[in-house]
Amino acid sequence: MLDTTAAGDAFNGAFAVALMRRFSPERGARFANAAAAISVTRSGAQPSLATLSEVEAMLHSIATNHN
C-alpha cells in the first residue's frame, strides 16, 4: 500500500536540506525524490519521513544498481 501523505513535505524539506548542503539543483532534486519515495512506502505524515542515512542508502543503492 502507498500512502502519499507528506510526500510533498518530504520532498520540499529534503530539497531545502540539499541546497543548504550546497548540492547542485539536479543533485538536490535526486536527493529530494529519494526522500519522497521513501515516505510513500510508510503510513502517516511524520512517521513516514526518512532519516538522512536512509536517503543516502537509497541513493547509494540506486547508483550501485545502475553501474
- The pTM of the full predicted model, rounded to 2 decimals, is 0.89
Active-site residues, by number, are: 9
Q: Low-confidence residues of the chain, pLDDT below 50?
A: none
Asked if the structure places residue 41 within a domain, the reply is yes
Asked if the structure places residue 33 within a domain, the reply is yes
Asked if the structure places residue 2 within a domain, the reply is no
DSSP state of 15: H
Q: Could you give the CA distance from residue 47 to residue 66 in angstroms, rounded to a whole number?
A: 29
Asked if the structure places residue 1 within a domain, the reply is no
What per-residue confidence (pLDDT) applies to 2? 81
What per-residue confidence (pLDDT) applies to 1? 65
Q: How many domains does the chain have?
A: 1
State the residue range of the domain holding 54. 7-65
Asked if the structure places residue 28 within a domain, the reply is yes
